[in-house]
Amino acid sequence: MEIFIGSDHAGYEMKKNIKEYLQGKDFKVTDLGSFSGEESVDYPDLTREVAEKVLEYPGSFGIMICGTGQGSAMAANRFKKIRAALCDSEFLAEMARAHNHANILCLGARVIKNDLAIKIVDKFLNTKPDKDQRHKRRVEKIDKNVG
């Protein structure tokens, strides 16, 4: 499974922890930046890079981390066929994948702690989309109406 991960400066430390964890689980992780927690960077730029890679490589996932996760989710969802979910619990991560077929997980480094972030990532990556026709129909409407 290929994962594209990015963060702004606020999410840099959390991104490092998640990246290390995923690499230890044999995921292919591509870090798109930022590469420092010191230098201020704009989350929309990094979110665009993550979203473009997820679109370029079907079946891949994205993880984007900024201060609250909210800005990254908003920026990512501007792209057609991207379904980004801001999750601060395992339940939200599970529902985002199962019901909404989310392909980018957004996390807030100033909102949740690293240990919870790892649990949310695990739940997101290990939940399969529900094949129920009502969820499929709704996801198709999301994809049609965005972009």
Domain of residue 31 covers 2-145
3-state secondary structure at position 1: coil
- As a whole number of angstroms, the distance between CA 93 and CA 123 comes to 6
Tokens of 27: 């995921």
Instruction: Supply the CATH number for residue 127's domain.
Output: 3.40.1400.10
Can you give the pLDDT at residue 146?
57
Structural domain total, the chain? 1
Q: What is the pTM of this model?
A: 0.95
99 annotated active-site: yes
Say which of 9, 99, 101, 135 is annotated catalytic. 99
pLDDT at 140: 85
Q: Which residues have a Cβ under 8 Å from the Cβ of 12 and sit 6 or more positions away?
A: 34, 35, 36, 37
DSSP letter at 30 equals E
Per-residue pLDDT of 61-99, as tens digits, reads 999 999 999 999 999 999 999 999 999 999 999 999 999
Per-residue pLDDT, 92: 98
Q: Which residues of the chain have pLDDT under 70?
A: 146-147
